[in-house]
């Protein structure tokens, strides 16, 4: 006879946690005793053993009397209780020890929050089951409890009414799926929470597959255990020779003596010693050997170990993985990728194999915390180390802008680029790099400290040096070049020529006078200049093209005796300089301003004032022109005298 023991048989995480909590409280020897709110689990053998050790089961009558014991400890069982029970126990003086299964606690939180928002709560499960009663006790409104599609038909749901659907953790997963499908086909506004414990689902699925492959099936558990009853019902559908027993005493070996293959499973509240007794009576292989095999499997699941699993559920913010362990593994969004707010349903799907690293064996809710990105990161370390040694240029997207620099992701491995290494110039606003792909090299690699430093500045400096070399090899004094205004200062502008910067001094911006370079040029503007001088790595530029030189035709325009009009550009103690055109200034000496004595030009003129005068001197080589208003006045006086003489003769 081949005896096959289900891997998931026996205590689940929540039950094991609750039972261990009670035994731990016994060891603490509370002076006022240890109590449990109802039987700690649905197994008579365990309850009897606890009673023999002085544990008292609290009944409703005991709570109704209102008398408590100071310092007595009341343990809440894994099924959980309603909010009011906590209040009653605290009011009676009990010190409450909460051993509610984390999966059940999660349902309490859901119905509490959703009912407060006004959602209608529908609980799928057995209304008489303590777990369901506890869930009902966290609803702010009156919940509905159903366990079949026929009961769902009777519920009257208004159009647009929000409905929240949750399930008892041990409910039949197949029936729950049918109910979910029923509500969705009705096109109701239903929010479905899959609250059936993964361990329960796995236990039921394993029982179904095992029962379908054996000649006889043994299901071990307490008669009042809901999850054991479901295991029996599932097994019975697959194998007619299915037997429900509580202990070895209930097992009639004669009914299975002709079976070649016998399967054994057990409810979540069945202790290992009872399973051991049944198994030992049927198999030559000792239970200790099976337990050892189980422990060997558990030893594989420890912090730091890398395991392979299969994805069994995907949500936007977490992935559930079957890792062949007593509890499922969870990959949170942050442990899957460094990409902020990534929707996991877009990158993973149910059924996919996945290699992960164990972070914690218990995340606080009985599940194993896993990491996918840490496995991916470790794979990339070898590549990054090679890139470091070979100074390979890498390209990656900036995923975070930090206070001191940029963080980029290379196959889920973070590389930090300090602000000082982002560019060869100071970058005041690093935010502009977010989500941009940038190139860099690794200049520091220390995997032990997880310190990997990238350097973008090095590439920029090298690129500019190469460009500068090409530029200086191709330019000459007098060449006309085009560049981009990089910076404007009070003394001029720096022009990026594509490899080096050239200085366009304020005096070379125009043939005329420039007061402020910013009035002429703007950063980012394209400008065409010519190279006036090259001195080492310094390039002097000019906009004063010779063909635009106003002095070229000045001798014709400004001949002696010509009457001209210009604006007062500046004044000194000895006279005023008059701008005749941009680049051509003429001196009006203070002695030539008027026939009357003028102390200083400011007494007569204002900057910008337009005046008319006569050219009395012109020196081309020295680029000097002298003006006189007095000379113009003499002409006017002479003309006036001539007119007067002609009038008197008449």
Alpha carbons 185 and 166: distance in angstroms, whole number: 17
CB 304 within 8 A of CB 357: yes
CA count, 13 A, side-chain hemisphere, 323: 31
How many angstroms separate the Cα of 255 from the Cα of each of 210, 241, 252? 19, 9, 6
Find the angle CA(470)-CA(475)-CA(479) to the nearest 5 degrees: 150
CB 111 within 8 A of CB 155: no
Question: Which residues are CB-contacts of 345 (< 8 A; sequence separation ≥ 6)?
Answer: 314, 315, 316
Per the annotation, the verdict on 525 as an active-site residue is no
Find the angle CA(207)-CA(208)-CA(212) to the nearest 5 degrees: 110
In this structure, how many other beta carbons lie within 10 angstroms of the beta carbon of residue 234?
24
Q: 432: burial class by Cβ within 10 Å (0-12, 13-18, 19+)? A: exposed
**Dihedral sign computed on CA atoms, order 288, 294, 296, 299:** negative
Query: Tokens representing 206?
Result: 């394993």
Of 131, 144, 202, 335, which is the active-site residue? 131
Alpha carbons 34 and 77: distance in angstroms, whole number: 13
CB 102 within 8 A of CB 63: no
In this structure, how many other beta carbons lie within 10 angstroms of the beta carbon of residue 44?
15
**232 by DSSP, 3-state: which?**
helix
Alpha carbons 329 and 356: distance in angstroms, whole number: 9
- Active-site residue list: 131
């Amino acid at each position: 006879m081949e005896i096959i023991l289900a891997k998931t048989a026996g205590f689940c995480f929540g039950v094991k946690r609750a039972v261990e909590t009670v035994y731990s409280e016994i060891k603490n020897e509370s002076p006022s005793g240890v109590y449990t709110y109802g039987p700690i689990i649905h197994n008579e053998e365990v309850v009897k053993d606890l009673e023999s050790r002085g544990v008292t089961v609290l009944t409703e009558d005991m709570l109704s009397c209102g008398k408590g014991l100071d310092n007595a400890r009341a343990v809440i069982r894994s099924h959980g209780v309603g909010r009011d029970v906590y209040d009653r126990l605290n009011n009676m003086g009990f010190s409450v020890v909460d051993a509610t299964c984390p999966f059940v606690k999660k349902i309490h939180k859901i119905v509490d929050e959703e009912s407060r928002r006004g959602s209608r709560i529908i609980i799928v499960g057995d209304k008489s089951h303590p777990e369901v009663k506890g869930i009902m006790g966290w609803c702010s409104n009156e919940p509905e409890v159903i366990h079949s599609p026929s009961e769902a038909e009777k519920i009257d749901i208004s159009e647009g009414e929000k409905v929240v659907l949750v399930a008892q953790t041990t409910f039949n997963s197949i029936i729950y799926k049918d109910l979910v499908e029923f509500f969705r086909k009705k096109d109701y506004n239903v929010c479905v929470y899959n609250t059936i414990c993964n361990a329960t689902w796995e236990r039921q699925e394993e029982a179904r597959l095992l029962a379908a492959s054996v000649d006889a099936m043994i299901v071990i558990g307490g008669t009042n255990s809901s999850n054991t009853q479901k295991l029996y019902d599932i097994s019975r559908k697959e194998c007619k020779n299915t037997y429900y027993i509580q202990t070895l005493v209930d097992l009639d070996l004669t009914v299975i003596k002709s079976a070649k293959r016998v399967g054994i499973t057990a409810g979540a509240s069945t202790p290992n010693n009872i399973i051991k007794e049944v198994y030992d009576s049927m198999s030559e292989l000792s239970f200790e050997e099976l337990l050892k095999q189980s422990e060997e499997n558990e030893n594989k699941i420890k912090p730091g170990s890398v395991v392979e699993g299969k994805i069994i559920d995907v949500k936007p913010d977490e992935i559930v993985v079957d890792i062949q362990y007593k509890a499922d593994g969870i990959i949170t969004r942050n442990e899957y990728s460094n990409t902020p707010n990534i929707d996991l349903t877009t990158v993973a799907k149910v059924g996919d194999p996945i290699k992960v690293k164990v972070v914690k064996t218990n995340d606080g809710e009985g599940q194993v915390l896993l990491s996918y990105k840490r496995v991916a990161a470790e794979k990339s370390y070898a590549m990054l180390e090679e890139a470091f040694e070979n100074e390979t240029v890498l390209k990656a997207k900036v995923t975070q802008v930090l206070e001191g620099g940029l963080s980029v992701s290379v196959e889920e491995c973070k590389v930090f680029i300090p602000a000082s290494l982002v560019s060869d110039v100071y970058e005041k606003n690093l935010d502009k790099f977010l989500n941009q792909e940038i190139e860099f090299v690794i200049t520091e690699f220390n995997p032990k400290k997880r310190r990997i430093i990238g350097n973008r500045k090095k590439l920029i400096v090298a690129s500019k040096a190469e460009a500068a070399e090409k530029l200086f090899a191709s330019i000459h004094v007098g060449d006309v070049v085009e560049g981009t205004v990089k910076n404007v200062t009070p003394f001029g502008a720096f022009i990026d020529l594509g490899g080096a910067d050239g200085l366009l001094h304020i005096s070379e911006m125009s043939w005329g006078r420039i007061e402020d370079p910013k009035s002429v040029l703007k950063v980012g503007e394209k400008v065409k200049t010519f190279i006036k001088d090259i001195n080492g790595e310094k390039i002097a530029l000019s906009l004063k093209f010779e063909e635009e030189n106003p002095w070229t035709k000045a001798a014709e325009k400004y001949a002696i005796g010509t009457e001209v009009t210009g604006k007062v550009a500046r004044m000194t103690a000895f006279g005023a300089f008059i701008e005749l055109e941009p680049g051509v200034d003429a001196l009006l000496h203070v002695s030539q301003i008027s026939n009357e004595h003028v102390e200083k030009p400011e007494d007569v003129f204002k900057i910008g004032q337009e005046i008319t005068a006569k050219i009395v001197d012109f020196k081309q080589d020295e680029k000097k022109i002298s003006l006189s208003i007095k000379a113009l006045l003499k002409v006017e006086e002479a003309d006036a005298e001539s007119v007067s003489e002609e009038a008197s003769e008449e």
